[in-house]
């Protein structure tokens, strides 16, 4: 098993669901984890699950629905005992299910603030430090959603995440700061809903693949977590 001992990872939206699974998966490999939720009390279950791995933990809170909340998250994450080596931009919201012709500006603004603008601000906050240290792994969660015009706001926000990730990867090409984007699959989470075909646990081990890349490995590419179901944990 490849180890991540002495590394620090920030996982946004890690109070439950996919983010929680990723936090636990990283800790299983010895990675220290900065967990994030809107409020500290929401993180109790995640922190309880991390105890058995004997890693260091740190809490960062903040509502990603506002620039002030994003700034709070960044400030608290930077106060962790170690710098962020691995960043999972997992937190996201689904858009309202409505006619593509009825969507108002407020809905575009709401979804893009959390799914795109917050993600960009967090990358801007931590990627330069990775450059200085000569090591970094940024994984931005995307979606395989397609042909769903009633969810166009969500799908367009994820398309923006894909394009931003590719361009950020080009900025760091050759510097061992690897930026990739990950589709966890359609899973039974608050966002995916109870009728999704996959259990949330199936995001592992695939979701960890881009965090475990060797130095100067692939960057600017898409990963599908469900393609690695048979990979050894």
- CATH number for the domain spanning 31: value is 3.40.50.720
- Residue 69's contacts (CB-CB under 8 Å, 6 or more residues apart) are 62, 63
The mean pLDDT of 41-47, rounded to a whole number, is: 97
Q: Is residue 166 part of a domain?
A: yes
Judged against a pLDDT cut of 90, whether residue 187 lies above it is answered with no
Judged against a pLDDT cut of 80, whether residue 14 lies above it is answered with yes
Q: What is the percentage of the chain residues whose pLDDT exceeds 90? A: 88
> Strand, coil or helix: what is 28?
helix
Write down the pLDDT at residue 223: 97
Q: Is residue 162 part of a domain?
A: yes
Q: Is residue 20 part of a domain?
A: yes
The residues annotated with a catalytic role in the active site are: 154
Number of domains in the chain: 1
Judged against a pLDDT cut of 90, whether residue 189 lies above it is answered with no
Write down the pLDDT at residue 200: 80
Sign of the alpha-carbon torsion through 116, 122, 124, 126: negative
Q: Is residue 103 part of a domain?
A: yes
Write down the pLDDT at residue 193: 66
Write down the pLDDT at residue 185: 82
Q: What is the pLDDT of residues 158-174, one digit of tens each?
A: 999 999 999 999 999 99
Distance of CA 28 to the CA centre of its chain: 17
Judged against a pLDDT cut of 80, whether residue 13 lies above it is answered with yes
Of 88-92, 132-136, 195-199, least confident by mean pLDDT is: 195-199
Q: Is residue 39 part of a domain?
A: yes
- Strand-by-strand arrangement of the 32-37 sheet: 57-61, 32-37, 8-11, 86-89, 136-141, 177-183, 222-224
Judged against a pLDDT cut of 90, whether residue 73 lies above it is answered with yes
Q: Tell me which residue range forms the domain holding 62.
A: 8-228
The mean pLDDT of 136-145, rounded to a whole number, is: 96
The mean pLDDT of 102-128, rounded to a whole number, is: 98
Write down the pLDDT at residue 142: 97
Q: Is residue 202 part of a domain?
A: yes
pTM beyond 0.85, yes or no: yes
Angle of CA points 11, 131, 13, to nearest 5°: 10
Q: Exposure pattern of 141-166 as b/e (b: 16+ CB <10 Å)?
A: bbbeeeeeeebbbbbbbbebbbebbb
Confidence at 191, pLDDT banded by 50, 70, 90: low
- Residue 195's contacts (CB-CB under 8 Å, 6 or more residues apart) are 188
Judged against a pLDDT cut of 70, whether residue 196 lies above it is answered with no
Of 118-122, 156-160, 191-195, 202-206, least confident by mean pLDDT is: 191-195
Judged against a pLDDT cut of 70, whether residue 147 lies above it is answered with yes
Q: Is residue 81 part of a domain?
A: yes
> Strand, coil or helix: what is 183?
strand
Q: Is residue 2 part of a domain?
A: no
Write down the pLDDT at residue 7: 98
């Amino acid at each position: 098993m490849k180890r991540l001992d002495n590394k620090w990872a920030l996982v946004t939206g890690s109070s439950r669901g996919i983010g929680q699974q990723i936090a636990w998966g990283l800790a299983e490999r010895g990675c220290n984890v900065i967990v994030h939720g809107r409020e500290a009390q929401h993180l109790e279950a995640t922190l309880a699950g991390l105890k058995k791995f004997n890693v260091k933990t740190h809490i960062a809170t903040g509502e990603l629905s506002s620039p002030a909340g994003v700034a709070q998250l960044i400030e608290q994450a930077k106060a962790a005992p170690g710098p962020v080596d691995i960043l999972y931009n997992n937190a996201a919201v689904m858009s309202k299910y409505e006619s593509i012709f009825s969507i108002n500006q407020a809905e575009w603004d709401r979804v893009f603030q959390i799914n795109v603008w917050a993600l960009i601000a967090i990358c801007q906050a931590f990627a330069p430090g990775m450059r200085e240290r000569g090591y970094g792994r940024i994984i931005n969660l995307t979606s395989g959603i397609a042909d769903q015009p009633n969810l166009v706001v969500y799908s367009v926000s994820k398309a923006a995440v894909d394009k931003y990730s590719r361009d950020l990867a080009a900025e760091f090409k050759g510097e061992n700061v690897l930026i990739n984007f990950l589709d966890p699959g359609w899973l039974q989470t608050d966002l995916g809903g109870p009728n999704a075909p996959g259990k949330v646990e199936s995001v592992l081990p695939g979701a960890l693949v881009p965090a475990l890349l060797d130095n100067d490995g692939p960057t600017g590419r898409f990963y599908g977590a469900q393609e690695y179901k048979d990979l050894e944990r």
